Amino acid sequence: MLLPPDLREWLPAGHLARFVIDAVEELDLAAFYAAYRADGWGRPAHDPAMMVALVLYAYARGERSSRLIERRCVEDIAYRVIAANQAPDHSTIARFIERHERALAELFGQVLTLCRRAGLLRAGVLALDSTKIAANASGLQNKSYEEIAREIIVQGIATDRAEDELYGDARGDELPAELADPKTRRERLRAAKAELEAEWAAERRAREEMLERRAEHKQRTGRNPAGRPPTKPLPESPQGRLNLTDRDSRPQKTPRGFIQGYNAQAVASEDQIIVAVDVLNHAADGGQLAPMITAASEALAAAGAERPKVVLADAGYWSAADIHELTGRGMTVLVPPDAHSATAPNRRVGGLYDQMRARLDTAAGRRLYRCRQTIIEPVFGHTKHNRRLDRFRRRGLAACQAEWRLITATHNLLKLWTATTAIA
């Protein structure tokens, strides 16, 4: 016999594939099944439970290419066990992930609940950090407003010449397929140009509204409002740059230079279980402390876990407003007010800056803050280095947010599998 009667006989009892199949049986997959007809019309689809298990297992192994997953379903016994000895083609796998993007992202909360039931979710101390992940786009495709407008003109002239050669003096109403296709580069250029113009107009409106508020405040009180008024005038045309491949991605600074990508946020518990995630397309972490911890608190409450008591974050998350908000909820917040020195511009003696610095300089504060490195940084190292998930495959901010939730859900699934295997 080339194969045993039951393929599972070739897998050890504690194999990850067996665990994923058992875990999927505990998940609510109603959102997946609701997308399919139940009246028998149409071609039969692969069982959504099998497809969910296949996607979770592949992502847990760091394999996201639909073509690679298709090959694994033929060559790898673990994949064959999950796929019930079927071999869905790469188009089916890719369409399933795209069609059920939101439902796959929502599995994050259900996996978090499984971790809580297993006793892995000690949420008394939370650590927040971010990492830069490359987009599915090239930085060479970043274009300024002037470059986009120039290329539109050049392409327009080239199109006119091509149509003159093709049609002569005829009207040529029926355009070739490549010119009628809305996904051509010309359409992307026009969409990018319109987006830059919209951002520039929104910035002008915000500037005008802010100047009106300052003028109204001075007229009402006779004093200038707090803060410096803007001195640099807005340019007469949009000055930003957009990527033609993935317009939501932005250049992100990393220790190894700039990449075209996104800023991925994550909050982890003491057990290195990720409890909240988000993806931003701007590099700065400022202003994300309170929103991310709020999202983490809501996720923990939904999973039935304890509320956080201590929050740890690096200096990039320093925000007096966010710290006051979290401490008002009864949390202890440890965020260095500066990255490398004990002095800062505009420092108010005796204010929050000095209070935080004094708290971090105590033995207990130093010991507690050192936990941040061991909680959150190994999560990023394992995800990006061991599982090779250092580039998004989808394009667009919403798609990358859903993909990041799926990636981090499989991280939690791996932690749960490791814990249950160790206990067994």
Q: What is the pLDDT of residues 328-350, one digit of tens each?
A: 999 999 999 886 555 555 455 56
**pLDDT digits over 91-103, tens only?**
999 999 999 999 9
Tokens for 84, please give them.
């019930």
Closest of 400, 77, 73 to residue 262, by C-alpha = 400
Indicate whether 320 and 400 sit together in one domain: yes
Is 248 part of any domain? no
- pTM confidence score: 0.80
Q: Which domain holds residue 120?
A: 108-137+253-423
Indicate whether 45 and 17 sit together in one domain: yes
- Nearby residues of 407 by Cβ (< 8 Å), 6 or more positions away: 59, 383, 389
* pLDDT for the residue 404: 97
Q: Which residue has the tokens 């909360």?
A: 109
Indicate whether 238 and 204 sit together in one domain: yes
Indicate whether 184 and 275 sit together in one domain: no
- Answer with the one of 48, 71, 99 that is the final residue of a domain: 99
**pLDDT digits over 367-418, tens only?**
999 999 999 999 999 999 999 999 999 999 999 999 999 999 999 999 999 9
Tokens for 16, please give them.
């990850």
- Answer with the one of 216, 243, 270 that is the final residue of a domain: 243
Tally of domains within the chain = 3
Indicate whether 159 and 235 sit together in one domain: yes
Indicate whether 313 and 344 sit together in one domain: yes
Indicate whether 220 and 81 sit together in one domain: no
**pLDDT digits over 244-295, tens only?**
788 889 889 988 889 999 999 999 999 999 999 999 988 899 999 999 999 9
Is residue 383 within 8 A of residue 392, CB to CB? The reply is: no
Secondary structure class of 105 (helix, strand, coil) = helix
- Answer with the one of 48, 70, 99 that is the final residue of a domain: 99
296 vs 123, residue with greater confidence: 296
